[in-house]
Structure 1
């Protein structure tokens, strides 16, 4: 990755070995602005009461990407002019990765926007490290993803057709004299030209999938001990409404009971190809030669774009008048006020948080270290941070005790 000078924030190119490519981190997030999101403080005469509008007003949804190389992920005016000179079929579909949506009646509907083409144009021959927050929208699986919760026990019925897979090598070894199916390709549906018309084109279901994984089926039969096959019991169907699949599996394993979820689901979910199924967005980015990361929950300080939202909302609230046309015009202007130099400062602060957590500091210690140490992408040594924090704490306590003693 490229580093940046502590004073000027100018880039310092990395030293790359032959065949290596520079990695650039791109951070994504979404934010909602409201037309009535105005300043909360105002000057009033005596006996005057502020007249505030009820509700938050119309919502304006902003989805944006930022990176250290260009700031906002968008083409420069010169690059846009070069694109306009090309034939229409050769141009990029969009020149800015930012998407502003005005949901609601008589307003624009949400549209899908991919920023990869813009990144590859503005950062040629570089690998993008795309960072997203840990939300259900970003972690959504593809329609044909390997997911046991989209499977029936038996073939056919209302179940999705899933993609082909390779039986993991980590599956149990075959019994003596049995075929080793590990490492072979497995289809989750019967071919459309299957000789049996009752099977042609139908999804196989959990039972057939396990039977084709002979060693996994043998292990399942040994553990089942003649019990009746169950897809999901009533408890599982109720908990599915409130809990996601991962939490269900963890709960079932912790309870150690066969009544919570079927052995077929557990057996299939313990296979690496099901457990390690990647989200749809990660599949797409990796197919384009890039990388994808998801931030841990409740750690917004690791995403520099969160600081961008604070920067923009402060200026928006000072200028808005509570009217939708004004807000619609103000939001892009406030976003454009944040230049690449400021965005690099946001990234530097997030890098220091990452370095603090990597050194084993907790949230309170990390927040102190980020404010105390201003080096690029790192904080001081752990022992120095803890010693300084202890000294500051002792000073505060001494001052507090002195005040109490005097009073």
Structure 2
């Protein structure tokens, strides 16, 4: 697979001297380079920002990404009411074990090693809110539970369930269950993605396209046009004329190049 950055002003992102490129060639697959996860996306963004900082510092840059889950991934311990217990428990969220360089580690079976970590603390009225009981408390180190967290925020949830069945809350409701109340709290709503955080720390803005069919995304159209153009060029290289090339490009849509026997295929198709 190929990953790159493109803009209307500069085209494909390159350094001014042409020696550096933001393009990444990735051989996807378990037995190859693995998979293009959020970690690779962050590295790719870092590579692009390095070029932009060095050669295009006079502009304000905004990265635009589609709504893929790998782009929207948050920190392993990011605030989320999902799976939070209502009462005090020894509870945490699952996160991959990482080595000294921040890379995920794998076990002997090739699977990512996981561990339980404490969820990040919240922010209420501009001040940090601890979600785990402090040293010296009877329940030191235990998760407070949604009921206690909401009680500290002024909510009476003594008669509320942890969540509505299957989280199918009444339409428009914001206080039907503990989990729904937390979902609507500002610190739970405004959690940055890893991509937003990395870019913000370097002074770059990030926008995510709304959720729609991927073929409407600009980058998909860009790659689609490039692949179609390549098929036409390959057709001309193999001796086809314009009409023949159009037929071949339609027959092999989705392919970057045409088979070596395409001329014979064309003749056979039009003789039968």
* TM-score range relative to shorter protein: 0.5 to 0.7
Alpha-carbon offset, residue 65 of structure 1: 1.1
Q: 2:132: which partner in 1? A: 189
Instruction: Report if aligned partners of 2:174, 2:180 keep a CA contact under 8 Å in 1.
Output: no
**Higher normalized helix content (fraction of residues):** 1
Alpha-carbon offset, residue 265 of structure 1: 0.6
Q: 2:110: which partner in 1? A: none
Instruction: Report if aligned partners of 2:7, 2:13 keep a CA contact under 8 Å in 1.
Output: yes
1:293 pairs with 2:224: no
1:282 pairs with 2:184: no
Q: Name the CA shift for 1:118/1:152 in 2 (closer, same or farther; >3 Å).
A: farther
Q: 2:26: which partner in 1? A: 101
- Report matched runs for 1:4-403 at 5 Å: 61-76=1-16, 78=17, 80=19, 95-110=20-35, 112=40, 113-114=44-45, 115-160=48-93, 161-167=118-124, 182-191=125-134, 194-196=135-137, 198-200=139-141, 202-213=142-153, 215=154, 217-218=155-156, 220-221=157-158, 224=159, 230-232=161-163, 235-236=165-166, 248=167, 251-254=168-171, 263-298=177-212, 303-318=217-232, 319=234
Alpha-carbon offset, residue 275 of structure 1: 2.0
Please list every run of 5 or more consecutive structure 2 residues that lacks an aligned counterpart in the other structure.
94-117, 239-255, 258-272
Instruction: Report if aligned partners of 1:152, 1:159 keep a CA contact under 8 Å in 2.
Output: no
Alpha-carbon offset, residue 159 of structure 1: 2.3
Please list every run of 5 or more consecutive structure 1 residues that lacks an aligned counterpart in the other structure.
1-60, 81-94, 168-181, 237-247, 322-329, 332-407
Alpha-carbon offset, residue 138 of structure 1: 1.8
Please list every run of at least 4 consecutive aligned residues from structure 1 whose deviation after the TM superposition is greater than 4 angstroms.
255-258, 299-303
Q: Name the CA shift for 1:108/1:129 in 2 (closer, same or farther; >3 Å).
A: same
2:197 & 2:170 partners in 1: Cα distance?
Answer: 29
Which one has the largest radius of gyration? Answer: 1
Alpha-carbon offset, residue 294 of structure 1: 1.2
Q: Name the CA shift for 1:287/1:190 in 2 (closer, same or farther; >3 Å).
A: farther
Alpha-carbon offset, residue 254 of structure 1: 0.9
- Using the size of structure 1 for normalisation, the TM-score is 0.44
Q: Name the CA shift for 1:189/1:158 in 2 (closer, same or farther; >3 Å).
A: closer
- Using the size of structure 2 for normalisation, the TM-score is 0.63
Alpha-carbon offset, residue 126 of structure 1: 3.0
Alpha-carbon offset, residue 62 of structure 1: 2.0
Alpha-carbon offset, residue 66 of structure 1: 0.8
Alpha-carbon offset, residue 302 of structure 1: 6.9
Alpha-carbon offset, residue 303 of structure 1: 4.4
Q: Name the CA shift for 1:313/1:269 in 2 (closer, same or farther; >3 Å).
A: same
1:122 & 1:230 partners in 2: Cα distance?
Answer: 56
2:32 & 2:146 partners in 1: Cα distance?
Answer: 45
1:210 & 1:107 partners in 2: Cα distance?
Answer: 48
1:164 & 1:79 partners in 2: Cα distance?
Answer: 45
Query: Deviations along 1:240-284, whole A, 9 cap, x unmatched?
Result: xxxxxxxx5xx51318699xxx72111211211112323221222
How many correspondences in the alignment? Answer: 205
1:105 & 1:273 partners in 2: Cα distance?
Answer: 37
